[in-house]
Structure 1
């Protein structure tokens, strides 16, 4: 049940937003093995005036935070995701993307999040019991 939050400045148009959503969903599935049908992607526009790197204004900025359940992916898988997600951002958003464009894989304990009213830890326990 991954959740991907992408903050982008300036906000992308509808076509770029759709490309980012589809690409990030595919990466979560293909690289991290997450269920595409449970992957949520939120693209949030940020005003250009709200983004700086090193204290200097930038014309383009992006920050990606992907939440997954702790312990479900290897270090190598997470590294591959970070590289592929950065490549997707550069492809869609263009060459003005700053060097300081961060992709974060945030591992959340299974008992600390879930969907449809059940935690990921509860779902894992049900799978083990079956």
Structure 2
């Protein structure tokens, strides 16, 4: 159940946001083995004059930037999957946005299963109920 928040410098429009959401959802589901139906994406835009790196605005630097935050349930992805995602997400967004400052970044946030969830249920609850359901199905088929 990834929660994806993309902040991009500049002005946005619906078409651009939809394109970012589709591309990031596909990448996240592919590399991090997540379900599209459970993937949430929010896209925000910050004017170049209001985004600063090293004390200078992006307007003054003449560059673009992004910050991608992906929230995951901890222990559901390996270090290798995360490293691959960092690399591929940076490459994808750099190509979509263009002229990005090298300090543009990807941040994966691992949340404890007892603290993270959706629909009023934690991921830990879903995990425990999934185990119970699988155990019940297994014992019924053994009869």
TM-score bracket, shorter-length normalisation = over 0.9
Unaligned stretches of 5+ residues in structure 2: 134-143
Greater relative contact order (Cα < 8 A, sep 6+)? 1
- 2:4 and 2:11 map into 1 onto residues whose CA distance is 16
Normalising by structure 2, we get a TM-score of: 0.86
Q: Is the 8 A contact 1:11 1:44 kept in 2?
A: no
Large movers: runs of 4+ above 2 Å: 11-16
CA offset at residue 11 of structure 1? 2.9
Residue 19 of structure 1 pairs with residue 1 of structure 2: no
User: Of the two, which has the highest radius of gyration?
Assistant: 2
CA offset at residue 41 of structure 1? 0.5
Residue 116 of structure 1 pairs with residue 127 of structure 2: no
CA offset at residue 115 of structure 1? 0.8
Pairing partner for 1:81 from 72, 80, 85: 85
Q: Deviation string for 1:31-81 (max 9, x for gaps)?
A: 001111110010001122211111111141210000000000000000111
Normalising by structure 1, we get a TM-score of: 0.94
Pairing partner for 1:103 from 101, 106, 112: 106
- Worse overlay, 33-42 or 6-15: 6-15
Pairing partner for 1:62 from 49, 63, 66: 66
Computed over aligned residues only, the root mean square deviation of the Cα atoms, in angstroms, reads 1.1
Residue 42 of structure 1 pairs with residue 45 of structure 2: no
Q: Is the 8 A contact 1:16 1:92 kept in 2?
A: no
